[in-house]
A and B are shown apart, each in its own frame.
Chain A
Amino acid sequence: MSKFSQRKKTRRQFLVDTSKGACGVGFMGLGLAGYSNQSQSFNPQMLRPPGALVEADFQSACVRCGLCVEACPYDILKLGRLFQPIATGTPFFLARTNPCEMCEDIPCVFACPTGALDPTLDNIDDARMGLAVLIDQENCLNFQGLRCDVCYRVCPVIDKAITLEMHRNTRTGHHAVFIPTVHSDACTGCGKCEESCVLEETAIKVLPRNIAKGELGAHYRWGWKEKEKAGHSLLTEPVLDLPDRVPEVLK
Chain B
Amino acid sequence: MKTSHTLGEEAIAKKGWLLANRFLLLRRLSQLSILSFFLLGPLAGIWILKGNLSSSSLFDVIPFTDPFILMQSLTSGHVAIFQAFLGAGIVLLFYIVVGGRVFCSWVCPVNLITDAAAWCRRKLKLRKEKVLSTQWRYWILLMVMILPLFTGVMTWELVNPVSAFHRGLFFGMGTGWVLFLMIFLFDLLAVENGWCGHLCPMGAFYAVVNKIGFIKVDAKNREKCTDCLDCFNVCPEPAILKGPVHGQKKGIGTLVNDMNCTNCGRCIDVCAEDVFVITTVLNGKNSLAKVEIIK
Contacts and interface: CB of A to CB of B under 8 A. Distances in A.
A67 B153 contact: no
Interface residues of B, dominant DSSP: helix
A69 interface: yes
A3 interface: yes
A87 to B, nearest CB: 6
A33 B174 contact: no
Contacts of B164: 82, 88-89
B63 A113 contact: yes
Nearest to B79: A115
A243 interface: no
A66 B66 CA distance: 13
Interface stretch (B69-77, B216-224, B227-235, B268-276): B69-77
Contacts of B63: 113
Contacts of B172: 78-79, 81
Interface string B160-174: 100110011011111
Interface in B67-112: 69-70, 73, 76-78, 80-81, 83-84, 87
A63 B154 CA distance: 9
Interface in A16-59: 17, 20-22, 24-26, 28-29, 32-33, 35-37, 39-40, 56-57, 59
Contact of B176 (A22, A56, A57, A82): A82
A229 interface: no
A180 B284 CA distance: 76
A219 B84 CA distance: 42
A8 to B, nearest CB: 9
A78 B168 CA distance: 11
A60 B73 CA distance: 5
How large, as a class, is the contact surface on chain B?
35 or more
Most buried by A among B42, B69, B78, B135: B78
A64 interface: yes
A60 B163 CA distance: 16
Given A17-B135, A24-B136, A40-B153, A66 B52 contact: yes
A32 B159 contact: yes
A32 B148 CA distance: 10
Contact of A29 (B50, B138, B143, B154): B143
A70 interface: yes
A76 interface: no
B133 A69 contact: no
Contact of B171 (A7, A78, A87): A78
B198 to A, nearest CB: 11
A81 B179 CA distance: 12
Given A66-B52, A113-B65, 11 more contacts: A3-B250, A33-B151, A36-B147, A60-B76, A65-B56, A81-B176, A82-B159, A83-B174, A88-B157, A114-B78, A114-B84
